[in-house]
Structure 1
Amino acid sequence: MTALAATPWTPAGASVWELSCRKDVTTKANEDYEKRTDVTPASDRASTVFVFATPRVWSGKEAWIAARRAEGAWKDVLAYDAEDIETWLDAASGVALEFAEDLGLTGPGLVSAQRYAREWVSASSPALTAEAIAEGRSDAIDELQLALRSRGDLPSRTRQIALFGDSVDEAVIFAAHYSGGAPVVVTAPSGWDYIEARQDIHIAIAAAPEFAIRYPQRAGLTVIVPYAKGDRRTMFAGQAGEESIVTIELPRPDMRSFQNALEKIGVETSDAGRLTQTCGRSWSVLRRQLACNPSIRRPAWLDHPSSRTLPLICLIGGWTDANEADKSFVETLAQRPYADIEADLADLAECNDPPIIRIDTVWKAKSPLELLALAAPRLNEAIVERFLTQAESILFEHDPALDLDHDKRWASHLFEKRRAYSSLLSGSVADALVKLSVRSGSDPVLENLMLDRRIANLVERTLKGASSDRWLSVSPYLPDLAEAAPETFLKALEGSLRLSDRPVAALFTETRGGGVTMVNYFWALMHAFERIAWAPHRLTRVALVLAELSRIPYDGNFGSDAYATLLQLFRAWLPQTNARLDQRMAALETLAKRSPDEAFRVAVDLLHRRDSASPAERPHWRDDDSGRADVTDDEYFGALRHAADLMIRLAEGNAERLGKCLNKLDLLGRDEQHRIYAAIETFIASDPSVEERQTLRDLLRGYVEHAKYGPLSGAALNAHLKRMIAYHDRLAPVKVEDRDAWLFQQNRRAAPTLGQKADWRANDEQITNWQEATVRELLGHGGFERLADFALSVEEPWRVGELAIRLATPPPDILTWIETAGPEFQWGAKSTQFLAGLMRVASTHNGDAARLAVFKTLPDRTPQDAAAILACFPVTRETWDLVEQLPETYAAAYWKAARPGHFMEGEEDLLYALTSLQSAGRPRTALLLIEHDSGRAPSPLIADLLEGILQGEEPEGQMPGRHGLQNLFKAMEDDGSFDRLRLAQLEFGYIKAFAYGDIRLLATLQREVASSPSLYVDLVSAIYSAEGDDRSKPPTDAEKATASNAYQILTGLRRIPGYLDDSSFEPAQFQNFADTALDLSGKCGRWNAFLSKFGELLAHTPDESSNWFPPAVADFIEDTDEDRLWSGFSIGVMNLSGGVRWVKGDGVFYDEKADRFDALATAWSTSHPKLAAAFAEIASSHRSRANRERVVHRVRQELGV
């Protein structure tokens, strides 16, 4: 053992102990000493004390100790006999008491803490443990032990620690295990007499608060008094109300900690999860539920006068009295005024181990299962009928958020589109339907009330023939409805899918996007399937429905969709069902007959080298998942073998599926591999269609590329690749157009060649050789006309044209083809891309000759047709020289059609292109040339182009990206000679192109607004009407746009008037700005609006690190003394707290903010009392937010969220 400090009986540091009852004490001591010395290294013995103890009187003890010490083999040698043990027990009364209990020699009113705890935890099966009760409560243990070590302000008197737990007993057990030392438990007032007489007892635990009304007063004694959390009145009785008390609250563990603790004491995983939900994470409740003695199972509160409210709590489960609809629901169900109900609840909450808990405005049943078992006899037909009627009103309620456009539904609360009932009440009622339905089969009262059938009928009325609106509105409750009546739920779902408009499909088609604005309606449906699929007899039915749902498209990319839910049912290493392997494979075979595409996909995805998954949702009340054992190796490999067999069977005769089987070859055994080879051979022999041949060839090329990075290498790899390439060649269509179209795909695979890994340079060379061979073959067997037809059928016509110019001998008859394909060449069309390839090829004899031949025909065409053809020429000086030979109308048409791209070499050419595009009214296209290299163009030209866009030029053109715009504005900002006012006006015009945070990049606009009070007031005026103006007239679109830009500028503005570029502050400049702006805003009727926005701006003062404001700003706020200014400043400060963040639930983030503003209030309290009051109010607001965060966190814990 290791002791941190020495006592009269234990040495400090490490020691080893040998205990013996043998009569020949010396002989035994020598044997133990020599044995221990032999097995312990000398280095360890040098820092360890050897101790021998015997319960017999040992006359030779002192001599033995002296002899062994003289040897020096150990750090020290000690020995104790019966006389020493007697002395020790006299000095350690707690240990003596426990020893006396073991001998049957106990007295009244007092027991050892160990015995008390042992009897309490062993009353259930399985027995509880101290470690289990401590799970998730390490902070409370530390707090208790710290309180025991500290004497505080009572060095000469008894110290009391008030320990609040779910129940008095649980607090006692916790204290007994984690107080340290040898505490005793006082079970009657008479026990204090024993403690008063024994100075060596330092920790006493009262078994109940009433036993601690009077206790001894002396130095060194700490009394731990247990309380139920709701019982605060008892705490102030007797001495407890007279002395300084250390108060410690014993929190209930979170869901994960409680479940882990249950598993550690031997509860099966699925049962542990269910018990965690149903017992409310309370060890006292769990002990009653698992009690061996039936008398323990009946809590005292069952006989409380206020227990008449228990049926109500049993049915509803939870609600908030901050919601009037919730209160009305409770009143209707109870047929009593809410005030009377709340009084009963308050009384019950003060009971020991109460059945209900209150967190802020929330009332919630602590253990729904226990409450149902105990309160069920009090349920009757009337209250049940009222409950089902009320529940129906929740299920049939239309979701007001559906009245909004899709892009606004995520923020429905901002538009006051809320359901009438709180989510707590509606969720609790839905959960109660499950609870009542499931327990109806085992509880006689519930069975007589036919609750399972009545709830199934309610589910049927809700879902059978339901409209899309109903499915969307009821979606949050689908998991509970499914678990409450699984067969009814599945029948309604299948029926909806059979209807022509498939209303349930709305759960997918109405789902949108991701991130903060995500609205997902089908997640709850997936959780519903997860819950009911645990039952083996439902597996096939669920799988078939999921397969059908997986074919419904939806917007977004969500991992837990219908197919993902289907796959997890069959996952070999983590099947989310209790079905045996044979049952799962039988279900998969049925799926293969009804939905072969989905079954094949599942079979393929079951075969993997790496996989990851999360556990699916389990039933909350049904025990369908009970007893789920870990997957054995035989079961795992059996599932994989069946998946491989099914995959190959379903792939036979199907090109796409055969290609996908190739990617699983390295995961299969030799027999399965040869079955795939045989299936491909059979497929080739069946003379497949051209489309089927191309499909499998595409997949073979992909596989060859993939296989080069696989486990094979050297000769084995080349042998394998030869087989695949042979399949590829044998599948080649006869017609060259079909055979080689893949060579001109945009995302073509690598060339199917031998060798380890791909050499991309060699691959490109090989592809080019094959492309050239294709073009030569087409030119040689059909001429340019056949080649042109081929070009218009592939994805890269330009590449065909490029090769045609290089390879055709004699030059192709392009003019004839143009006449056939033209006269119009729309940009992006395949004919235009082919012509561009013909015209833009690198300078060769054929290329130059072809361009000149085509150019000579242009005067005979209209300017627009000629320009469309010229746009296919290279964008170079040579082309522009040709254009200048044509009439001006042709040149103008050319610059309206030209496509210069995103880069151009040569400063002179670039400037010529920019000005020509500007003259053609194409500022967007011009800016694309310089958006990533804006320093190449003069600032006035950039400004001209940007102004052209604002004036509506080239509305259909592509805009530069946000990063490109930032580059353009930065170039003008860095140009010190460029007009600042013009730049500020441009920044105002482009404010919408910048996110709110990026407004700070518009430095000139920031500087202008912060230095011009008239501009600032103009912006305020653009947003807000003058006070007293008639607002019935709607604003024009232009006014709306201006107001929106102005709002974005003022909201993003961070530069405070008076601050210079070097961050120095000029008080006079600030004061002049403020005075002028106040005067202007008053004259134009925007006084209050200006104060509000200006107050928000002042919250961003750069001096936040010290006392926030320079004195001049503080003086202005103090002297102005306007509510709107204070309000705006408070809003600005609160906004500085940030938006989305990780909420721990401890409130520390807002507590630290509150401390900061409390300090500011103190700092300004003497010189600027009004400003100090504002800071104090902000601090108070942050404290409220911290408390609210803690409350919300507790509620979420209770709900298991």
Structure 2
Amino acid sequence: DGKYETIEDNIVRLLRFDDSPVWSAGRYRGVASKIDALFAIAGMITQHDLDRFFEAAEYVLSDSDPALELPEEDRWLAPLYGKKRDHSSAMREGICETLIILSVRGNNLFQSRLGIDVEDRVTALIRKLLIPLTLEKLLSHDHDLPHYAEAAPDEFLTIIEEDLRCSDPVVFGLLKPDSGSFWAPSSQTGLFWALECLAWNPKNLLRVSVILAQLSRQKIDNNRVNKPDDSLQNIFRSWIPQTAAPVSDRVKVLKKLTEDFPKIGWEICIKQIKPGHSVGHYSYRPRWRSDASGAGQVVTNGEIYKFTRKTLGFLIDWPSHDEKTLGDLVEYLQGMPIENQSKVWNLIDEWSRTAGEAAKAVLRERIRLFAFTQRGRQRKLEDATRDRAREAYDSLRPNDPVIRHSWLFANQYVPVSTEEIEKEGFNDNDQEADERIDKLRREAITEIWDERGFKGVKDLLAPSGATDLIGRYTASCVTDVCSQSDFIQRCLSLDGELQSKAEWCLRGFLSAIGDDVCAEVINMVAKKLSVEESKRLFVCAPFNASTWRLLDDSSEDIRTGYWKDVVPYWKDQTPAELNELIDCLLEAHRPRAAFHVVCMNFKDIETSRLKRLLHDIATVNTEPAGQVGLDP
């Protein structure tokens, strides 16, 4: 009669059996085996029963998620805001699983007796739930997408493929950084799990791989594990492939990826020959289809060898090598047989004949890091490998001094070359290593300045990640006041992408020429500059009282702009300087910036200022978020 009390009575009666077909846990009830239950009652199911089920399934699953009405960072709090679906997640999951079972088993049970193509009805329902595809639907059905894919594999892939053919695919809306909230769910997990689920079937491998490759073109800058390129790496990982496709099928699909998506195909291939230990993740597996049966575990060494040899062949025979691909091959050289290592060095020799100097310098530095640093020594390379590396390194030496020395200023820290210092027990952490790099940098800047002047420094800034060092070392080459004044004005004249780098270069330069000379030069240059240029000059000057006294003679606009934009830092300021900077930064409504400088010198802060500083930290909220953080 449909009453719940009657159902409860029947469940209680069935639970008394030793091998009960139902289970009960709290407020939830269910059958022990859905497939067994379906087979047991299949003969009693009518077309009307199936119609009612599909009608109920559409009604429940089409219910959109009201949590989407909240801001993304608050959606995990949806129950507190009363934003809940009318039907529980357990009911949705149960209906989804029934759809999968009907898709897999339904036609065998009902098609001949009732004349109903159950699989086709499941497919039609999935399409009706998702089409027309919108971002809201994808987000609303996120947890259900793996079930939909397992229920209607061909249809699900067709829907995604149709969307990706559009000029502005909807699925790209899922590929974005997360909100930063620890509890906020990832918006792309459901889609990737759905695709991983379908990749187990060899028939779907090519379609799934192409979709994931297309999605990989849009990089996701967050820390979530689930990304399209991660899913691809898991599928093709040689020692634990997350697909039931045999080696031959995987090789064919990978070959297709290297042709149609070369950057993505390269990354998959190169990871297969990486020497040393690696970590693999298991992909989402189908629950009701047998596509993953017996697959997804560590395979035999023979299968690993067969697959990696094929991928290595793809890498060696790559149609258009460049400094990046050749550098990757050098880095992973130890994962190759000897004959392939020789092929790599031959490829480098051939490529270098027509390559530009900048590209040569990039590859040259990767060879240096591979073979001639402390880490290279730990690799315990064969003498033959080191000899070939030395030959390639020497042959790639650029003639342009800027390009040749750019590796010294790529980053603050430079791994020293062990080849350059033959001393027993020497390592990168020794003081002598720092002295060696310091000497190389001074010689490099001197050569660049002598040959190219300011233009050489400007060219060196563009690729550098340590532009303050460039300014600091240039100070030793620019010693008279007129030349220093000219250097400062040239740095301030640079704009666009170089403006920020030039300002950091200027910071290093001004900090290196000494306070007395610095004050004299700044005072002379500031008179020739506009208000905006003068403010930028003072912001780059050392953060101390010497600079602040020069500001006293400047206009109010320059003084106000300075305290608003300066990056304050602690550097042996006197108690008087600390109290002065507090007053000025508080006047500029920057209490967190002031606290950041003085927090290690409370004993030197006048009490009333310290009280005001702490008060303003709690009450003033005008500083840009994330500009200056406070430690607990």
TM-score (norm 2): 0.86
Partners of 2:412 and 2:465 within 8 A in 1: no
Report what 1:616 is aligned to: 283
Partners of 1:438 and 1:622 within 8 A in 2: yes
Alignment map for 1:178-327 (pairs within 5 Å): none
Q: Secondary structure at the match of 2:250?
A: helix
Partners of 1:652 and 1:658 within 8 A in 2: no
- Equivalent residue in structure 2 for 1:584, among 237, 250, 254: 250
Partners of 2:449 and 2:477 within 8 A in 1: no
Q: Secondary structure at the match of 2:148?
A: helix
Partners of 2:374 and 2:417 within 8 A in 1: no
| Matching of residue 774 in structure 1 with residue 444 in structure 2 | yes
Report what 1:926 is aligned to: 594
| Matching of residue 524 in structure 1 with residue 194 in structure 2 | no
What CA distance in whole angstroms lies between the structure 1 residues aligned with 2:375 and 2:459?
A: 31
Deviates more, 1:715-724 or 1:547-556: 715-724
Report what 1:798 is aligned to: 468
Q: Secondary structure at the match of 2:29?
A: strand
Partners of 1:839 and 1:850 within 8 A in 2: yes
Q: 1:597 to 1:760 in 2, by over 3 A?
A: farther
Displacement of 1:565: 1.9
Partners of 1:619 and 1:625 within 8 A in 2: yes
Partners of 2:122 and 2:152 within 8 A in 1: yes
Q: 1:376 to 1:340 in 2, by over 3 A?
A: same
The residue type paired with residue 364 of structure 1 is: G
Partners of 1:464 and 1:496 within 8 A in 2: no
Q: 1:924 to 1:347 in 2, by over 3 A?
A: closer
Q: 1:450 to 1:863 in 2, by over 3 A?
A: closer
Q: Secondary structure at the match of 1:708?
A: helix
Displacement of 1:383: 0.6
Q: 1:899 to 1:337 in 2, by over 3 A?
A: closer
What CA distance in whole angstroms lies between the structure 2 residues aligned with 1:824 and 1:668?
A: 47
| Matching of residue 460 in structure 1 with residue 127 in structure 2 | yes
Report what 1:477 is aligned to: 144
Q: 1:824 to 1:908 in 2, by over 3 A?
A: farther
The residue type paired with residue 313 of structure 2 is: D
- Equivalent residue in structure 2 for 1:829, among 500, 510, 515: 500
| Matching of residue 667 in structure 1 with residue 335 in structure 2 | yes
Partners of 2:192 and 2:228 within 8 A in 1: yes
What CA distance in whole angstroms lies between the structure 1 residues aligned with 2:205 and 2:447?
A: 58
Q: 1:757 to 1:650 in 2, by over 3 A?
A: farther
Deviation digits for residues 949-993 of structure 1 (CA, Å, limit 9, x no counterpart): 567597459876433xx6xxxxxxxxxxxxxxxxxxxxxxxxxxx
- Equivalent residue in structure 2 for 1:738, among 377, 390, 403: 403
Displacement of 1:676: 1.4
Displacement of 1:859: 5.6
Alignment map for 1:345-744 (pairs within 5 Å): 345-351=11-17, 353-443=19-109, 448-509=115-176, 512-513=179-180, 515=182, 517-554=183-220, 556-608=222-274, 609-628=276-295, 631-650=299-318, 652-685=320-353, 687-704=354-371, 705=373, 707-712=375-380, 718-719=386-387, 721-729=389-397, 732=398, 734-744=399-409
Partners of 1:356 and 1:363 within 8 A in 2: yes
What CA distance in whole angstroms lies between the structure 1 residues aligned with 2:64 and 2:581?
A: 60
Displacement of 1:716: 5.8
What CA distance in whole angstroms lies between the structure 2 residues aligned with 1:770 and 1:799?
A: 13
Q: 1:915 to 1:592 in 2, by over 3 A?
A: closer
Partners of 2:510 and 2:540 within 8 A in 1: yes
Displacement of 1:709: 4.5
What CA distance in whole angstroms lies between the structure 1 residues aligned with 2:294 and 2:614?
A: 70
Q: Secondary structure at the match of 2:24?
A: strand
What CA distance in whole angstroms lies between the structure 2 residues aligned with 1:486 and 1:348?
A: 36
| Matching of residue 942 in structure 1 with residue 610 in structure 2 | yes
Displacement of 1:357: 2.2
The residue type paired with residue 746 of structure 1 is: N
Q: 1:514 to 1:701 in 2, by over 3 A?
A: farther
Partners of 2:107 and 2:119 within 8 A in 1: yes
Partners of 2:123 and 2:152 within 8 A in 1: yes
Partners of 1:927 and 1:960 within 8 A in 2: no
Displacement of 1:668: 1.2
Deviation digits for residues 835-867 of structure 1 (CA, Å, limit 9, x no counterpart): 333322154xxx855642442454676777656
Displacement of 1:422: 1.1
Q: 1:431 to 1:772 in 2, by over 3 A?
A: same
Deviation digits for residues 756-777 of structure 1 (CA, Å, limit 9, x no counterpart): 8546544433433333333323
Displacement of 1:683: 1.4
| Matching of residue 841 in structure 1 with residue 512 in structure 2 | yes
Partners of 1:797 and 1:831 within 8 A in 2: yes
Partners of 1:463 and 1:489 within 8 A in 2: no
Report what 2:483 is aligned to: 813
Partners of 2:492 and 2:499 within 8 A in 1: no
Displacement of 1:371: 1.0
Q: What is the number of residues matched between the two proteins?
A: 620
Partners of 2:251 and 2:307 within 8 A in 1: yes
Q: 1:635 to 1:795 in 2, by over 3 A?
A: closer
Partners of 1:791 and 1:834 within 8 A in 2: no
Partners of 2:107 and 2:117 within 8 A in 1: no
What CA distance in whole angstroms lies between the structure 2 residues aligned with 1:805 and 1:636?
A: 56
Q: 1:905 to 1:467 in 2, by over 3 A?
A: closer
Q: 1:558 to 1:850 in 2, by over 3 A?
A: closer
Partners of 2:349 and 2:392 within 8 A in 1: no
Displacement of 1:449: 2.7
> C-alpha root-mean-square deviation of aligned residues, in Å?
3.6
Q: Secondary structure at the match of 2:476?
A: helix
What CA distance in whole angstroms lies between the structure 2 residues aligned with 1:742 and 1:954?
A: 40
Displacement of 1:892: 5.4
What CA distance in whole angstroms lies between the structure 1 residues aligned with 2:2 and 2:15?
A: 19
Displacement of 1:343: 4.2
Partners of 1:404 and 1:412 within 8 A in 2: yes
Displacement of 1:658: 1.5
What CA distance in whole angstroms lies between the structure 1 residues aligned with 2:60 and 2:155?
A: 19
Partners of 1:824 and 1:865 within 8 A in 2: no
The residue type paired with residue 212 of structure 2 is: L
Displacement of 1:926: 3.3
Deviates more, 1:849-858 or 1:673-682: 849-858
Q: Secondary structure at the match of 1:358?
A: strand
Partners of 1:536 and 1:583 within 8 A in 2: yes
What CA distance in whole angstroms lies between the structure 2 residues aligned with 1:534 and 1:866?
A: 64
> Greater Rg, structure 1 or structure 2?
1
Q: Secondary structure at the match of 1:650?
A: coil
What CA distance in whole angstroms lies between the structure 1 residues aligned with 2:270 and 2:412?
A: 24
Partners of 2:133 and 2:170 within 8 A in 1: yes
Q: 1:895 to 1:684 in 2, by over 3 A?
A: closer
The residue type paired with residue 621 of structure 1 is: W
Partners of 1:512 and 1:554 within 8 A in 2: no
The residue type paired with residue 839 of structure 1 is: L
Partners of 1:824 and 1:868 within 8 A in 2: no
What CA distance in whole angstroms lies between the structure 1 residues aligned with 2:281 and 2:335?
A: 23
TM-score (norm 1): 0.47
